Amino acid sequence: MNKPIQLTIEEVRSNLIEYINNVCSKENIDYYFLEIIMKDIYNEISLKKNNQLELMKKEYQKSMEEVKNDGNE
């Protein structure tokens, strides 16, 4: 059985928070600056998500066209 996505999301979230806290502690980064860094990271993630979504739409449209064309033959 595959792990439920909810568990995976929670594990990733927890691991990211732990990693961020460790880095901040090790590098002595104030959380004020962390917020700035996190905003940049969020913007990058959002851009990649939008690109992925656009690619998924194109792939879906292509597959629907192929199904439509196969039905016309």
- pLDDT tens, position by position, 12-43: 999 999 999 999 999 999 999 999 999 999 99
The residue-averaged pLDDT of 51-68 equals 94
Give percent of the chain with pLDDT exceeding 90: 86
Model-level pTM? 0.70
Per-residue pLDDT at 10 exceeds 80: yes
Q: Phi, psi (5° rounding) for residue 2? A: -75, 150
- Where b means 16+ CB within 10 Å and e means fewer, 56-69 reads eeeeeeeeeeeeee
Is residue 44 within 8 A of residue 30, CB to CB? The reply is no
Split into its structural domains, the chain has a count of: 1
Q: How confident is the model at residue 73 (pLDDT cuts 50, 70, 90)?
A: low
Is residue 47 within 8 A of residue 41, CB to CB? The reply is no
Segments forming the whole domain that contains residue 52: 5-71
